[in-house]
Structure 1
């Protein structure tokens, strides 16, 4: 029994360590980097199988987590069909994507199996915040005192915060989904009932208590992450985050069950303190300049999407094969662009081309169903942790739905796997079948 207990803990804390590691090697967006994550996941899944040789239960994840496996499984099955029946226009790249997607499936499986209680959900959230904080500090340091080359991996540094990512918009996406779950976690720590005693001493005592609590530490971490998000100067990254936070917040203020009395003040503080005060000190004006200077005449992403539509029509049924977009797009490119586009800068278009319209629709429907579950959790669950986590997951999903309209963050392994973790937390926070809240 002692061996099984230690193996259980080893697998779980290895998953937490992997979460922190994922963004460090260039967002795991290089073959050698995502190969490391794949090897770790495959090794942990092998240990999971060994664990269940000695323990004849607990191999399968909870039934309530099935939507994430429907989402990833749809893509995995499509890739298998493309390879078996030779539908892929680039079989080598499709096999690479198949291996990566299989690791995503196993990773979600392990997260859902080993995140067995509230304590472990909290530990996973801490791991996410630590990972986001490291990226934020690293990105802010480089941006405020930029050297010629980054101290890690020796990449030439640009004026827009990248952190250890290659592409600033990937960092913006990563930080935004970390912020989302972090805000949800803070909400879960809010007091439900306001102190009926309105004496100044009680308010002062509450203020001191807040200063000494973990809420303040987490709040400070999130402020640092907000600074880094602003320094990326990602237009859609920042706008999509504010829109998603505002949308989910309005829903929560209206329908949240047992709403914390200070919820509205916390939400207001994020918009006032983070976007106005912090933003004025750390480059929000430069972000505004980028927004004002945005021109559809100079912007070529819309032309890339327009030129990609014929590929959607051509491969709408079976898809062209996972990872094949970069080789197909030049055949449909109408005019030379500034730079080489190996991605569509629109995940909906690229997924529809590579996986087919049906698989793309089923995956997106699964994501919307998970979002519905999160909204349902906020209105029905009585556990503050499950409600707060659902708030954060709903914000992250809404943000991702918006951001992938103009970018390709899910092509970076760190972003995709971190998003999978967050989705799993939302499903693990849902109501168990035949159980009370």
Structure 2
């Protein structure tokens, strides 16, 4: 392990904290910084290994990496100029539109420049997985990455809560108007809520890694463990979760709060049903998160306002549902190829049937991906997520490692929360949210293949070598 490789790993940790800071990395200059950052990291890894990268590691993540790579190749293909014959065969509607404007040739994408921009972002996501395979190669580093994710969420939560509690009306750096709703360094409250949902879930998983699986057997041992818990890192993480819950409630995000509540509830039930040698305190932990954090702390800091927003929600007053309905017409016309990644804001006005304002996103990532990438490519991405979910579920059912099982549980909760939240918002569009979620998918796969370290997993009986494909014990 060279010094340059260590610095590359530290740069990954810094990147995790940096991503949400510049407006969620949802501006061209902000995501360009992340793209350059990841590219330099890849170059430094090649130099660190002197061109002899351990490619045998890739086979353990082949479905995740190949799935993302295939999707990016499809996005790149959407930007290539095609003659009328091939284009008419692949997408007759795209050929018709380009011919109407007298273009000499056409593209699958109806906005090839934005699709090329999306390809560069997607290439960055793929490189992130590639780098993570070589950098996050031990259970110690997995825990460090998850800890940094939790720290990043806590920083965002503390900043967002302070802005609200101090009644600050203008953000100190970019001068955006603040309206008493927590947004952190994001522009859109739901993006912060989604980010906090993921970091909260990973924080719960991190706490689970510290829970004892053996019974106390005596009052003395019980009291000793209780005191150790109060004085341990576990309590600091617990305080971080409380801060993040406060900020999550302050976002007033209806589905953000609903997604977190559902993720912890469903994830807790899954853990109680499938967790191998489950810690005796697991039930109490899940119950405390739901009861103490969501109900008591939430009620103190404004959960009632979130509930009122849910009650006041009306399909007649919301126009986002109309956007989804009209977007179905786009999917009908471009079912196999899509209109090109990043082209929604260009295409949607052609299908809008009323003046409902400007919509650059569908406010439903399922719909948006089918519109832009087509149904087959969207199913490809969905299969990657479900495969990662299945691997994490297999980990908590079969492995002995407390570290791997706890983090796998956090990944399961994060995936559940994300799948719920993206049904009503565009949370995979900001780079901060997308890269964090992709990193969580990587961690879900890593928990299935990386070995446990005896010093960190004293109760693990697993051998200290890289596991073969699949979470065998």
Matched, 1:95 2:116: yes
Contact between 1:11 and 1:44, CA under 8 Å: does it hold in 2?
Answer: yes
How far apart are the structure 1 equivalents of 2:472 and 2:368? 42
- 1:118-160: CA deviation from partner (whole Å, max 9, x where unpaired): 1100110111011101100000001112222111222111222
For residue 360 of structure 1, report the CA deviation from its aligned partner.
0.5
Contact 1:48 1:59 in 2 (8 A): no
CA gap of 1:57–1:98, structure 2 versus 1, over 3 A, is: closer
Contact 2:23/2:187 (8 A) holds in 1: yes
- TM-score normalised to the size of structure 1? 0.96
The equivalent position to 2:468 in structure 1, one of 429, 433, 436, is 433
Structure 1 residues 46 and 202: CA distance shift in structure 2, 3 A: closer
> What residue is the counterpart of 2:196 in the other structure?
175
Q: Could you state the TM-score of these two structures normalised by the residue count of structure 2? A: 0.89
Give yes or no for contact 1:23–1:414 (8 Å, CA) kept in 2.
Answer: yes
Retained in 2: the 8 A contact 1:60–1:113? no
Query: Counterpart of 1:185 in 2: which secondary structure?
Result: helix
Q: Residues 323 and 61 of structure 1: is their aligned pair in 2 closer, same or farther, counting only changes over 3 Å?
A: farther
Aligned to 2:69, which of 73, 77, 100?
73
Q: Which among 162, 167, 171 is matched to residue 146 of structure 1?
A: 167
Aligned 8 A contact 2:71 2:380 in 1: no
Return the match for 1:217 from 216, 219, 236. Answer: 236
1:189 paired residue among 191, 202, 210: 210
Task: Provide the C-alpha distance between the structure 1 equivalents of 2:52 and 2:468, rounded to a whole number of angstroms.
Answer: 22
Offset of residue 436 of structure 1: 5.4
**Is 1:28 the counterpart of 2:49 in the alignment?**
no
Q: Does the alignment pair 1:372 with 2:387?
A: no
Q: Aligned pair count?
A: 430
**Structure 2: 5+ residue runs without aligned partners?**
83-106, 450-466
Whether the 8 Å contact between 1:374 and 1:394 is mirrored in structure 2 is: yes
RMSD: 1.4
For the pair 1:44 / 2:41, whether they are aligned, the reply is yes
Within 2, Cα distance between the matches of 1:318 and 1:295? 34
Match of 1:9 among 6, 10, 13: 6
Number of the residue aligned with 1:156: 177
- Name structure 1 gaps, 5 residues minimum: none
Aligned-residue offset at 1:368: 0.8
1:414 maps onto 2:398 in alignment: no
Match of 2:254 among 231, 235, 249: 235
Pair 1:285 & 2:304 matched: yes
Q: Aligned equivalents of 2:57 and 2:371: distance in 1?
A: 31
The reply to whether residue 205 of structure 1 matches residue 224 of structure 2 is: yes
**Post-superposition offset of 1:55:** 5.6
Indicate the structure (1 or 2) with the bigger Cα radius of gyration: 2
Aligned to 2:54: 58
Q: Which moved more, 1:35-44 or 1:236-245?
A: 236-245
Contact 1:189 1:384 in 2 (8 A): yes
Indicate which of 327, 334, 352 corresponds to 1:315: 334
